[in-house]
Structure 1
Amino acid sequence: MTILADILVEKEKEVKQLKQNYQSENLANNQTVSSFYRTFMESDQMKIIAEIKRASPSKGIINPNVNPAKQASDYQAAGASMISVLTDQPFFQGTMEDLAMVRSVVDLPILNKDFIIDEIQIDRAKDYGANVILLIAAALPKTRLEELYDYAIQSGLEVLFEVHNAAELSIAQEIGVQIIGVNNRNLKTFEVDLAITEELAKQIDLTKTLLISESGIKTTADVMRVQKAGARGILVGETMMRSKDLTATFQTLRVNR
Protein backbone atom coordinates (compact mmCIF):
# COMPACT_ATOMS: atom_id res chain seq x y z
CA MET A 1 0.00 0.00 0.00
CA THR A 2 1.23 3.50 -0.81
CA ILE A 3 0.83 6.45 1.55
CA LEU A 4 -1.83 7.89 -0.76
CA ALA A 5 -3.76 4.61 -0.70
CA ASP A 6 -3.59 4.56 3.12
CA ILE A 7 -4.88 8.13 3.25
CA LEU A 8 -7.77 7.35 0.89
CA VAL A 9 -8.85 4.38 3.02
CA GLU A 10 -9.12 6.71 6.02
CA LYS A 11 -10.87 9.34 3.89
CA GLU A 12 -13.59 6.83 2.96
CA LYS A 13 -14.26 6.30 6.67
CA GLU A 14 -14.35 10.05 7.27
CA VAL A 15 -16.83 10.62 4.44
CA LYS A 16 -19.07 7.85 5.76
CA GLN A 17 -19.14 9.59 9.15
CA LEU A 18 -19.77 12.98 7.53
CA LYS A 19 -22.75 11.63 5.63
CA GLN A 20 -24.24 10.39 8.90
CA ASN A 21 -23.50 13.44 11.03
CA TYR A 22 -22.70 16.57 9.04
CA GLN A 23 -25.32 19.26 8.72
CA SER A 24 -24.32 21.78 6.08
CA GLU A 25 -24.50 25.35 7.32
CA ASN A 26 -22.64 28.55 6.67
CA LEU A 27 -20.19 28.77 9.55
CA ALA A 28 -17.91 31.40 8.03
CA ASN A 29 -18.32 35.08 7.31
CA ASN A 30 -18.88 35.40 3.61
CA GLN A 31 -16.48 38.18 2.78
CA THR A 32 -15.70 38.61 -0.88
CA VAL A 33 -12.15 37.67 -1.78
CA SER A 34 -10.30 38.17 -5.02
CA SER A 35 -10.23 35.45 -7.64
CA PHE A 36 -7.30 33.07 -7.25
CA TYR A 37 -7.06 32.55 -11.02
CA ARG A 38 -7.32 36.18 -12.04
CA THR A 39 -5.04 37.58 -9.32
CA PHE A 40 -2.24 35.12 -10.09
CA MET A 41 -2.56 35.35 -13.88
CA GLU A 42 -2.43 39.16 -13.87
CA SER A 43 0.50 39.56 -11.47
CA ASP A 44 4.01 40.50 -12.53
CA GLN A 45 5.42 38.88 -9.41
CA MET A 46 5.61 35.24 -8.34
CA LYS A 47 2.65 34.63 -6.04
CA ILE A 48 3.07 32.64 -2.85
CA ILE A 49 0.53 30.23 -1.37
CA ALA A 50 1.64 29.77 2.23
CA GLU A 51 0.54 26.56 3.91
CA ILE A 52 -0.39 25.72 7.46
CA LYS A 53 0.41 22.12 8.38
CA ARG A 54 1.49 20.56 11.64
CA ALA A 55 2.84 17.29 10.27
CA SER A 56 3.12 15.13 7.17
CA PRO A 57 3.63 11.42 6.42
CA SER A 58 7.02 12.12 4.84
CA LYS A 59 8.41 14.62 7.37
CA GLY A 60 6.63 13.59 10.57
CA ILE A 61 5.96 16.35 13.10
CA ILE A 62 6.81 19.77 11.64
CA ASN A 63 5.22 22.36 13.94
CA PRO A 64 2.66 20.75 16.30
CA ASN A 65 1.94 23.84 18.40
CA VAL A 66 1.14 26.24 15.57
CA ASN A 67 -1.65 28.72 16.23
CA PRO A 68 -3.45 28.77 12.84
CA ALA A 69 -4.92 32.25 13.32
CA LYS A 70 -1.58 33.81 14.25
CA GLN A 71 0.28 31.93 11.53
CA ALA A 72 -2.25 33.03 8.92
CA SER A 73 -2.08 36.66 10.08
CA ASP A 74 1.70 36.51 9.90
CA TYR A 75 1.51 35.01 6.39
CA GLN A 76 -0.81 37.78 5.22
CA ALA A 77 1.41 40.48 6.75
CA ALA A 78 4.50 38.96 5.12
CA GLY A 79 2.91 38.99 1.67
CA ALA A 80 1.11 35.70 1.04
CA SER A 81 -1.40 35.81 -1.81
CA MET A 82 -3.33 32.79 -0.60
CA ILE A 83 -3.31 30.53 2.44
CA SER A 84 -3.52 26.75 2.25
CA VAL A 85 -4.87 24.98 5.31
CA LEU A 86 -4.28 21.24 5.64
CA THR A 87 -7.36 19.79 7.31
CA ASP A 88 -6.62 16.06 7.19
CA GLN A 89 -6.38 14.82 10.77
CA PRO A 90 -4.92 11.27 10.77
CA PHE A 91 -1.89 12.01 8.60
CA PHE A 92 -1.36 15.77 8.88
CA GLN A 93 -2.90 16.62 12.28
CA GLY A 94 -5.11 19.32 10.76
CA THR A 95 -8.76 20.14 11.47
CA MET A 96 -11.60 22.06 9.88
CA GLU A 97 -11.47 24.34 12.92
CA ASP A 98 -8.00 25.39 11.73
CA LEU A 99 -9.60 26.56 8.50
CA ALA A 100 -12.37 28.43 10.32
CA MET A 101 -9.80 30.18 12.52
CA VAL A 102 -7.82 31.26 9.46
CA ARG A 103 -10.96 32.54 7.74
CA SER A 104 -11.77 34.69 10.77
CA VAL A 105 -8.51 36.65 10.56
CA VAL A 106 -7.56 37.01 6.87
CA ASP A 107 -9.22 38.39 3.77
CA LEU A 108 -7.12 36.34 1.35
CA PRO A 109 -8.41 33.36 -0.63
CA ILE A 110 -8.11 30.13 1.38
CA LEU A 111 -7.40 26.70 -0.05
CA ASN A 112 -8.87 23.74 1.83
CA LYS A 113 -5.99 21.29 1.35
CA ASP A 114 -7.41 17.84 1.82
CA PHE A 115 -8.04 14.59 -0.02
CA ILE A 116 -11.46 15.26 -1.48
CA ILE A 117 -13.41 12.24 -2.70
CA ASP A 118 -17.01 13.32 -2.15
CA GLU A 119 -19.32 16.32 -2.62
CA ILE A 120 -20.00 16.55 1.11
CA GLN A 121 -16.37 17.55 1.68
CA ILE A 122 -16.82 20.37 -0.83
CA ASP A 123 -19.94 21.56 1.02
CA ARG A 124 -18.01 21.48 4.28
CA ALA A 125 -15.02 23.35 2.80
CA LYS A 126 -17.32 26.15 1.67
CA ASP A 127 -19.17 26.20 5.00
CA TYR A 128 -15.90 26.68 6.87
CA GLY A 129 -14.77 29.53 4.64
CA ALA A 130 -12.65 28.01 1.88
CA ASN A 131 -12.62 29.68 -1.54
CA VAL A 132 -10.57 26.99 -3.27
CA ILE A 133 -10.52 23.20 -2.98
CA LEU A 134 -7.88 20.69 -4.03
CA LEU A 135 -8.59 17.78 -6.36
CA ILE A 136 -5.80 15.23 -6.77
CA ALA A 137 -5.70 13.41 -10.10
CA ALA A 138 -3.96 10.40 -8.55
CA ALA A 139 -6.76 9.91 -6.03
CA LEU A 140 -9.77 9.19 -8.22
CA PRO A 141 -10.97 8.02 -11.64
CA LYS A 142 -11.47 10.70 -14.30
CA THR A 143 -15.28 10.52 -14.22
CA ARG A 144 -15.34 11.14 -10.48
CA LEU A 145 -12.80 13.96 -10.73
CA GLU A 146 -14.95 15.64 -13.37
CA GLU A 147 -18.10 15.33 -11.23
CA LEU A 148 -16.36 16.86 -8.21
CA TYR A 149 -14.76 19.59 -10.32
CA ASP A 150 -18.11 20.61 -11.78
CA TYR A 151 -19.77 20.47 -8.36
CA ALA A 152 -17.13 22.75 -6.83
CA ILE A 153 -17.34 25.28 -9.68
CA GLN A 154 -21.15 25.32 -9.45
CA SER A 155 -20.78 25.89 -5.69
CA GLY A 156 -18.81 29.07 -6.41
CA LEU A 157 -15.41 27.65 -5.50
CA GLU A 158 -12.21 27.58 -7.52
CA VAL A 159 -10.29 24.32 -7.93
CA LEU A 160 -6.57 23.66 -7.75
CA PHE A 161 -6.25 20.46 -9.78
CA GLU A 162 -3.11 18.58 -8.80
CA VAL A 163 -1.11 16.43 -11.21
CA HIS A 164 2.26 14.70 -11.11
CA ASN A 165 2.72 13.15 -14.56
CA ALA A 166 1.68 13.46 -18.21
CA ALA A 167 -1.25 11.04 -17.90
CA GLU A 168 -2.72 13.04 -15.01
CA LEU A 169 -2.12 16.29 -16.89
CA SER A 170 -4.10 14.89 -19.83
CA ILE A 171 -7.03 14.22 -17.51
CA ALA A 172 -6.88 17.81 -16.25
CA GLN A 173 -6.85 19.12 -19.80
CA GLU A 174 -9.73 16.87 -20.89
CA ILE A 175 -11.81 18.13 -17.97
CA GLY A 176 -10.88 21.70 -18.94
CA VAL A 177 -9.47 22.90 -15.63
CA GLN A 178 -8.19 26.47 -15.35
CA ILE A 179 -5.71 26.01 -12.51
CA ILE A 180 -3.16 23.19 -12.53
CA GLY A 181 -0.92 22.44 -9.58
CA VAL A 182 2.11 20.36 -10.44
CA ASN A 183 3.14 18.45 -7.36
CA ASN A 184 6.87 17.90 -7.49
CA ARG A 185 6.38 15.25 -4.80
CA ASN A 186 5.41 11.76 -5.88
CA LEU A 187 2.50 10.88 -3.55
CA LYS A 188 3.36 7.21 -3.82
CA THR A 189 7.04 7.46 -2.85
CA PHE A 190 7.15 11.04 -1.48
CA GLU A 191 10.31 11.76 -3.48
CA VAL A 192 10.61 15.38 -4.71
CA ASP A 193 11.96 16.63 -8.05
CA LEU A 194 11.44 20.16 -9.45
CA ALA A 195 12.02 18.78 -12.95
CA ILE A 196 8.42 17.54 -12.83
CA THR A 197 7.20 21.14 -13.10
CA GLU A 198 9.63 21.82 -15.94
CA GLU A 199 8.56 18.77 -17.94
CA LEU A 200 4.80 19.18 -17.53
CA ALA A 201 4.83 22.95 -18.11
CA LYS A 202 5.93 22.32 -21.70
CA GLN A 203 2.59 20.60 -22.34
CA ILE A 204 0.38 23.38 -20.88
CA ASP A 205 -1.06 26.44 -22.62
CA LEU A 206 0.27 28.95 -20.10
CA THR A 207 -1.63 31.85 -21.69
CA LYS A 208 -4.91 30.37 -20.46
CA THR A 209 -3.99 27.99 -17.66
CA LEU A 210 -2.63 29.07 -14.29
CA LEU A 211 0.32 26.89 -13.30
CA ILE A 212 1.25 26.44 -9.64
CA SER A 213 4.37 24.56 -8.59
CA GLU A 214 4.00 22.62 -5.34
CA SER A 215 6.50 20.98 -2.97
CA GLY A 216 10.26 21.15 -2.58
CA ILE A 217 10.64 24.91 -3.06
CA LYS A 218 13.09 26.32 -0.52
CA THR A 219 15.44 28.81 -2.17
CA THR A 220 15.41 31.76 -4.57
CA ALA A 221 17.04 29.48 -7.16
CA ASP A 222 14.18 26.99 -6.78
CA VAL A 223 11.62 29.77 -7.36
CA MET A 224 13.47 31.08 -10.40
CA ARG A 225 13.68 27.57 -11.80
CA VAL A 226 9.93 26.92 -11.68
CA GLN A 227 9.16 30.48 -12.75
CA LYS A 228 11.31 30.03 -15.85
CA ALA A 229 9.26 26.91 -16.60
CA GLY A 230 6.07 28.99 -16.49
CA ALA A 231 4.74 28.77 -12.93
CA ARG A 232 2.96 31.92 -11.74
CA GLY A 233 2.61 30.73 -8.18
CA ILE A 234 4.26 28.41 -5.69
CA LEU A 235 2.76 26.47 -2.80
CA VAL A 236 5.14 26.34 0.16
CA GLY A 237 4.43 24.43 3.35
CA GLU A 238 7.31 22.94 5.29
CA THR A 239 9.68 25.86 4.61
CA MET A 240 7.07 28.29 6.00
CA MET A 241 6.22 26.12 8.99
CA ARG A 242 9.88 25.79 10.01
CA SER A 243 10.73 29.44 9.36
CA LYS A 244 12.01 31.51 12.30
CA ASP A 245 11.71 34.71 10.25
CA LEU A 246 8.76 34.74 7.87
CA THR A 247 9.60 38.17 6.45
CA ALA A 248 13.02 36.89 5.39
CA THR A 249 11.55 33.64 4.05
CA PHE A 250 9.06 35.54 1.91
CA GLN A 251 11.82 37.82 0.63
CA THR A 252 13.80 34.74 -0.42
CA LEU A 253 10.84 33.28 -2.31
CA ARG A 254 9.44 36.47 -3.87
CA VAL A 255 10.81 37.18 -7.34
CA ASN A 256 9.50 39.37 -10.14
CA ARG A 257 8.31 37.82 -13.35
Structure 2
Amino acid sequence: MTETNEIIKNVSLSTWDYISPGFEIIYPDSSFPNMIVADPKSSYWPYLRAEIPHSWYVDKKEPFIGFLNRDEAHILYNTALKFAGKKALEIGCWRGWSACHLALAGVELDVIDPVLAKEDVYESVTTSLRLANVLGSVNLIDGYSPQKVEELAKQLQRKWSLIFIDGDHEAPAPLNDTIICEQLAEADALILFHDLNSPDVTQGLDYLKQKGWNTIIYQTMQIMGAAWRGNVEPVKHQPDPKINWNLPEHLVDYSVSG
Protein backbone atom coordinates (compact mmCIF):
# COMPACT_ATOMS: atom_id res chain seq x y z
CA MET A 1 0.00 0.00 0.00
CA THR A 2 2.84 2.40 0.82
CA GLU A 3 4.48 1.73 -2.53
CA THR A 4 1.19 2.19 -4.38
CA ASN A 5 0.50 5.46 -2.57
CA GLU A 6 3.94 6.77 -3.44
CA ILE A 7 3.39 5.99 -7.13
CA ILE A 8 0.06 7.79 -7.08
CA LYS A 9 1.60 10.81 -5.38
CA ASN A 10 4.22 11.06 -8.12
CA VAL A 11 1.53 10.88 -10.80
CA SER A 12 -0.62 13.51 -9.11
CA LEU A 13 2.24 16.00 -8.82
CA SER A 14 2.92 15.82 -12.55
CA THR A 15 -0.68 16.53 -13.58
CA TRP A 16 -3.54 18.77 -12.49
CA ASP A 17 -4.75 16.06 -10.13
CA TYR A 18 -3.43 17.88 -7.07
CA ILE A 19 -3.74 16.17 -3.67
CA SER A 20 -2.82 17.90 -0.43
CA PRO A 21 0.42 16.64 1.16
CA GLY A 22 -0.06 14.36 4.16
CA PHE A 23 -3.23 12.71 2.90
CA GLU A 24 -3.70 8.97 2.57
CA ILE A 25 -4.39 8.33 -1.09
CA ILE A 26 -6.78 6.02 -2.91
CA TYR A 27 -7.50 5.71 -6.60
CA PRO A 28 -10.88 4.02 -7.26
CA ASP A 29 -11.05 5.15 -10.90
CA SER A 30 -11.38 1.60 -12.26
CA SER A 31 -14.75 1.38 -10.50
CA PHE A 32 -16.00 4.35 -12.55
CA PRO A 33 -15.49 3.40 -16.20
CA ASN A 34 -17.65 6.30 -17.42
CA MET A 35 -15.65 8.96 -15.59
CA ILE A 36 -13.74 11.35 -17.85
CA VAL A 37 -11.99 14.71 -17.59
CA ALA A 38 -14.09 17.48 -19.14
CA ASP A 39 -13.81 21.18 -19.85
CA PRO A 40 -15.43 23.06 -16.92
CA LYS A 41 -16.32 25.88 -19.30
CA SER A 42 -18.97 23.56 -20.73
CA SER A 43 -20.90 23.70 -17.44
CA TYR A 44 -23.97 25.91 -17.22
CA TRP A 45 -23.62 26.44 -13.44
CA PRO A 46 -22.55 30.04 -12.67
CA TYR A 47 -20.58 29.13 -9.53
CA LEU A 48 -18.19 26.66 -11.12
CA ARG A 49 -14.67 28.06 -10.81
CA ALA A 50 -13.64 27.19 -14.36
CA GLU A 51 -10.51 29.32 -14.01
CA ILE A 52 -8.99 26.80 -11.56
CA PRO A 53 -6.90 24.43 -13.72
CA HIS A 54 -7.40 21.28 -11.63
CA SER A 55 -8.89 18.35 -13.55
CA TRP A 56 -12.69 18.45 -13.58
CA TYR A 57 -14.30 15.01 -13.68
CA VAL A 58 -17.73 14.12 -15.04
CA ASP A 59 -19.71 11.08 -16.10
CA LYS A 60 -19.52 10.92 -19.89
CA LYS A 61 -23.29 10.29 -20.03
CA GLU A 62 -23.92 13.57 -18.13
CA PRO A 63 -20.89 15.72 -18.99
CA PHE A 64 -22.24 18.98 -17.58
CA ILE A 65 -22.33 17.94 -13.90
CA GLY A 66 -19.01 17.53 -12.12
CA PHE A 67 -17.75 15.18 -9.43
CA LEU A 68 -15.52 16.18 -6.56
CA ASN A 69 -12.08 16.68 -8.03
CA ARG A 70 -9.11 14.65 -6.82
CA ASP A 71 -8.16 16.96 -3.96
CA GLU A 72 -11.77 17.35 -2.79
CA ALA A 73 -12.35 13.60 -2.87
CA HIS A 74 -9.30 13.14 -0.65
CA ILE A 75 -10.52 15.71 1.84
CA LEU A 76 -13.68 13.61 2.02
CA TYR A 77 -11.84 10.29 2.26
CA ASN A 78 -9.30 11.41 4.87
CA THR A 79 -12.03 13.02 6.95
CA ALA A 80 -14.06 9.80 6.81
CA LEU A 81 -11.03 7.79 7.97
CA LYS A 82 -11.42 9.55 11.31
CA PHE A 83 -14.96 8.12 11.55
CA ALA A 84 -14.30 4.54 10.46
CA GLY A 85 -16.89 2.19 11.96
CA LYS A 86 -19.32 5.03 12.69
CA LYS A 87 -22.56 6.07 10.99
CA ALA A 88 -22.29 8.56 8.13
CA LEU A 89 -24.89 10.30 5.98
CA GLU A 90 -24.52 11.68 2.47
CA ILE A 91 -27.12 13.98 0.93
CA GLY A 92 -26.64 13.90 -2.84
CA CYS A 93 -24.39 11.26 -4.38
CA TRP A 94 -24.88 11.81 -8.14
CA ARG A 95 -23.00 8.85 -9.71
CA GLY A 96 -21.50 7.54 -6.49
CA TRP A 97 -17.95 8.94 -6.69
CA SER A 98 -18.16 10.68 -3.30
CA ALA A 99 -20.09 7.79 -1.73
CA CYS A 100 -17.35 5.42 -2.84
CA HIS A 101 -14.66 7.51 -1.12
CA LEU A 102 -16.71 7.66 2.08
CA ALA A 103 -17.36 3.91 2.09
CA LEU A 104 -13.73 3.04 1.31
CA ALA A 105 -12.78 4.90 4.50
CA GLY A 106 -14.82 2.40 6.53
CA VAL A 107 -17.94 4.31 7.58
CA GLU A 108 -21.43 2.79 7.59
CA LEU A 109 -23.04 5.01 4.99
CA ASP A 110 -26.62 6.08 4.33
CA VAL A 111 -27.08 7.92 1.02
CA ILE A 112 -30.16 9.98 0.14
CA ASP A 113 -30.66 11.30 -3.39
CA PRO A 114 -33.80 11.59 -5.53
CA VAL A 115 -31.76 10.76 -8.64
CA LEU A 116 -31.44 7.19 -7.34
CA ALA A 117 -35.06 6.69 -8.42
CA LYS A 118 -33.77 6.66 -12.01
CA GLU A 119 -32.99 3.09 -12.98
CA ASP A 120 -29.89 3.91 -15.03
CA VAL A 121 -28.40 6.05 -12.26
CA TYR A 122 -29.12 3.46 -9.57
CA GLU A 123 -27.55 0.78 -11.75
CA SER A 124 -24.48 2.94 -12.37
CA VAL A 125 -24.01 3.72 -8.67
CA THR A 126 -24.49 0.14 -7.48
CA THR A 127 -22.16 -1.19 -10.17
CA SER A 128 -19.40 1.23 -9.16
CA LEU A 129 -19.81 0.51 -5.45
CA ARG A 130 -19.79 -3.23 -6.17
CA LEU A 131 -16.59 -2.93 -8.21
CA ALA A 132 -15.02 -1.05 -5.30
CA ASN A 133 -16.16 -3.82 -2.89
CA VAL A 134 -18.11 -1.41 -0.68
CA LEU A 135 -21.72 -1.93 -1.76
CA GLY A 136 -22.46 -3.93 1.39
CA SER A 137 -21.68 -0.95 3.64
CA VAL A 138 -23.83 1.56 1.73
CA ASN A 139 -27.58 2.03 2.15
CA LEU A 140 -28.92 3.76 -1.00
CA ILE A 141 -32.24 5.59 -0.59
CA ASP A 142 -34.07 7.50 -3.30
CA GLY A 143 -35.90 10.49 -1.89
CA TYR A 144 -35.74 14.17 -1.10
CA SER A 145 -34.09 15.76 1.89
CA PRO A 146 -34.76 17.05 4.44
CA GLN A 147 -37.96 14.98 4.66
CA LYS A 148 -36.23 11.69 3.88
CA VAL A 149 -33.44 12.41 6.37
CA GLU A 150 -35.95 12.82 9.20
CA GLU A 151 -37.90 9.75 8.06
CA LEU A 152 -34.78 7.59 7.92
CA ALA A 153 -33.60 8.75 11.34
CA LYS A 154 -36.95 7.80 12.88
CA GLN A 155 -37.12 4.50 11.03
CA LEU A 156 -33.63 3.37 12.04
CA GLN A 157 -33.46 5.25 15.37
CA ARG A 158 -30.27 6.78 14.06
CA LYS A 159 -27.99 9.75 14.41
CA TRP A 160 -24.88 10.36 12.34
CA SER A 161 -21.30 11.22 13.30
CA LEU A 162 -20.21 12.35 9.83
CA ILE A 163 -22.47 14.12 7.34
CA PHE A 164 -21.68 15.25 3.80
CA ILE A 165 -24.13 17.76 2.29
CA ASP A 166 -23.87 17.95 -1.50
CA GLY A 167 -27.49 17.88 -2.65
CA ASP A 168 -29.73 20.57 -4.12
CA HIS A 169 -27.60 23.73 -4.33
CA GLU A 170 -30.44 26.22 -4.76
CA ALA A 171 -31.71 28.17 -1.73
CA PRO A 172 -33.32 27.33 0.61
CA ALA A 173 -32.37 23.64 0.12
CA PRO A 174 -28.81 23.75 1.55
CA LEU A 175 -30.01 25.58 4.66
CA ASN A 176 -32.95 23.21 5.14
CA ASP A 177 -30.64 20.20 4.76
CA THR A 178 -28.30 21.67 7.34
CA ILE A 179 -31.03 22.42 9.87
CA ILE A 180 -32.28 18.82 9.93
CA CYS A 181 -28.74 17.41 9.92
CA GLU A 182 -27.75 19.57 12.88
CA GLN A 183 -30.67 18.11 14.82
CA LEU A 184 -29.72 14.53 13.92
CA ALA A 185 -25.95 14.78 14.31
CA GLU A 186 -24.21 13.06 17.21
CA ALA A 187 -22.77 15.17 20.02
CA ASP A 188 -19.33 14.52 18.50
CA ALA A 189 -19.92 15.22 14.83
CA LEU A 190 -18.54 16.81 11.69
CA ILE A 191 -20.50 18.13 8.70
CA LEU A 192 -18.79 18.67 5.33
CA PHE A 193 -19.98 20.90 2.49
CA HIS A 194 -19.02 21.03 -1.19
CA ASP A 195 -19.49 23.92 -3.63
CA LEU A 196 -19.23 26.73 -1.10
CA ASN A 197 -18.37 29.05 -3.97
CA SER A 198 -22.17 29.33 -4.13
CA PRO A 199 -23.64 31.72 -1.53
CA ASP A 200 -26.76 29.52 -1.41
CA VAL A 201 -24.70 26.54 -0.22
CA THR A 202 -22.82 28.73 2.25
CA GLN A 203 -26.10 29.48 4.05
CA GLY A 204 -25.78 26.01 5.59
CA LEU A 205 -22.28 26.63 6.92
CA ASP A 206 -23.31 30.09 8.13
CA TYR A 207 -26.15 28.51 10.11
CA LEU A 208 -23.82 26.08 11.90
CA LYS A 209 -21.35 28.85 12.66
CA GLN A 210 -24.14 30.89 14.24
CA LYS A 211 -25.14 27.83 16.28
CA GLY A 212 -21.65 27.67 17.79
CA TRP A 213 -20.04 25.00 15.64
CA ASN A 214 -16.36 25.36 14.76
CA THR A 215 -15.74 26.00 11.07
CA ILE A 216 -12.96 25.87 8.47
CA ILE A 217 -12.75 26.44 4.71
CA TYR A 218 -10.73 24.32 2.27
CA GLN A 219 -9.39 26.15 -0.78
CA THR A 220 -10.20 23.75 -3.60
CA MET A 221 -11.66 24.21 -7.04
CA GLN A 222 -15.21 24.44 -5.69
CA ILE A 223 -14.33 25.29 -2.07
CA MET A 224 -15.19 22.77 0.60
CA GLY A 225 -15.87 23.48 4.25
CA ALA A 226 -16.27 21.70 7.55
CA ALA A 227 -18.24 22.41 10.71
CA TRP A 228 -17.63 20.32 13.82
CA ARG A 229 -18.48 20.05 17.49
CA GLY A 230 -17.41 17.84 20.37
CA ASN A 231 -14.42 15.53 20.37
CA VAL A 232 -13.61 15.51 16.66
CA GLU A 233 -11.24 17.46 14.42
CA PRO A 234 -11.20 18.27 10.70
CA VAL A 235 -8.32 17.25 8.45
CA LYS A 236 -5.56 19.74 7.73
CA HIS A 237 -5.28 20.75 4.09
CA GLN A 238 -2.62 22.58 2.12
CA PRO A 239 -4.01 24.42 -0.93
CA ASP A 240 -2.16 23.91 -4.20
CA PRO A 241 0.76 26.39 -4.04
CA LYS A 242 0.80 26.73 -7.83
CA ILE A 243 -2.53 28.59 -7.75
CA ASN A 244 -3.14 32.18 -6.70
CA TRP A 245 -6.23 31.51 -4.58
CA ASN A 246 -8.98 33.96 -3.74
CA LEU A 247 -12.24 33.77 -1.80
CA PRO A 248 -15.66 35.09 -2.78
CA GLU A 249 -16.96 37.90 -0.59
CA HIS A 250 -19.43 35.68 1.27
CA LEU A 251 -16.56 33.56 2.66
CA VAL A 252 -14.00 36.20 3.65
CA ASP A 253 -14.81 35.91 7.38
CA TYR A 254 -13.95 32.20 7.51
CA SER A 255 -10.60 30.70 8.43
CA VAL A 256 -8.89 28.81 5.60
CA SER A 257 -7.03 25.56 6.28
CA GLY A 258 -3.36 25.81 5.40
Q: Under a length normalisation based on structure 2, what TM-score does the superposition of the two structures give? A: 0.39
TM-score by length of 1: 0.39
Higher-helix-fraction structure: 1
Compare relative contact order (CA 8 Å, sep 6+) and give the higher one, 1 or 2: 1
